């Protein structure tokens, strides 16, 4: 099985990028000797507040570069990509669903979904993207009649599904879901996970799902506590 994510000898500290002279001691947030995720895996990444989950996600997605070590996505080392190439690589290969869904409230559902393809592979004609948006709506059990409604008129559960459609329309190899269920009640949370798994399976998308809520862990085949891979957390706690 090929690795979608591969981390080797990673260390990261914010101090190296801060201008504050008061901070003189190097204080690593992350020290991860080795960590990888294979194609098609669904990984639940958990850890308490402040344990470095967001920092690790930002590193895996090339928004932050490691202080030392190597982070590869699809065999591509983030440190070897510069500026716009890095942004384009991220846009083409990684989808995101966040807790704050980041839908544009006054745009209709279709346009919100199509925004997901805006910065990705731009060689697909618009009519094809619209067909795919409709297919995703169908897969997510959202009625097509919602397509032309402004996103703000949808329920939170429906908006969550639109956010998944937006993340998947560019057919990313890797989908990052960062606390996407924290605003949902249990029934909606389970429904959200069910469609997320089904679609990830259907599209062969590797999933990294981050949460501090360990009750969700049992639904994932692979569960990773950040403190178990991060040596830096041992000394601090």
Angstrom distance (rounded) from CA 38 to CA 43: 10
| Rounded least distance, CB 164 to ligand ATP, Å | 21
Q: Which is nearer to ligand ATP, 97 or 117 (CB)?
A: 97
| Rounded least distance, CB 158 to ligand ATP, Å | 26
Angstrom distance (rounded) from CA 142 to CA 23: 51
Q: Which is nearer to ligand ATP, 40 or 48 (CB)?
A: 48
| Rounded least distance, CB 6 to ligand ATP, Å | 20
3-state helix, strand, coil in the chain (%, to 5): 40, 25, 35
Site for ligand ATP, rule CB under 6 A? 14, 29, 47, 49-55, 212
Cα 136 to its chain centre, rounded Å, is 18
The angle that helices 126-139 and 156-168 make with each other, rounded to 10 degrees, is: 140
| Rounded least distance, CB 86 to ligand ATP, Å | 19
Backbone angles phi, psi at 176, to 5 degrees: -105, 120
Q: Which is nearer to ligand ATP, 129 or 232 (CB)?
A: 232
Q: Which is nearer to ligand ATP, 55 or 67 (CB)?
A: 55
């Amino acid at each position: 099985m090929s690795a979608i994510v591969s981390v080797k000898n990673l260390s990261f500290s914010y101090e190296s990028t801060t201008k504050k002279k008061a901070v003189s001691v190097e204080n690593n947030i992350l020290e991860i000797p080795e960590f990888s995720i294979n194609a098609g895996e669904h990984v639940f990444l958990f850890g308490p507040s402040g344990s470095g989950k967001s920092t690790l996600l930002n590193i895996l997605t090339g928004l932050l570069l490691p202080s030392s070590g190597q982070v590869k996505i699809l065999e591509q080392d983030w440190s070897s990509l510069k500026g716009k190439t890095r942004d384009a690589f991220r846009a083409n290969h990684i989808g995101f669903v966040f807790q704050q869904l980041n839908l544009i409230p006054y745009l209709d559902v279709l346009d919100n979904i199509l925004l997901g393809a805006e910065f990705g592979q731009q060689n697909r004609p618009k009519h094809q993207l619209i067909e795919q948006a409709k297919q995703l709506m169908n897969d997510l059990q959202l009625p097509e009649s919602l397509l032309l409604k402004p996103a703000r008129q949808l329920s939170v559960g429906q908006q969550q599904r639109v956010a998944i459609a937006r993340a998947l329309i560019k057919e990313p190899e890797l989908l990052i879901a960062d606390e996407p269920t924290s605003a949902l009640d249990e029934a909606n949370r389970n429904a959200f996970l069910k469609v997320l798994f089904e679609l990830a399976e259907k599209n062969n998308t590797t999933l990294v799902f981050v949460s501090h809520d360990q009750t969700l862990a049992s639904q994932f085949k692979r569960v990773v506590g950040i403190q178990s891979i991060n040596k830096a957390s041992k000394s601090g706690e």
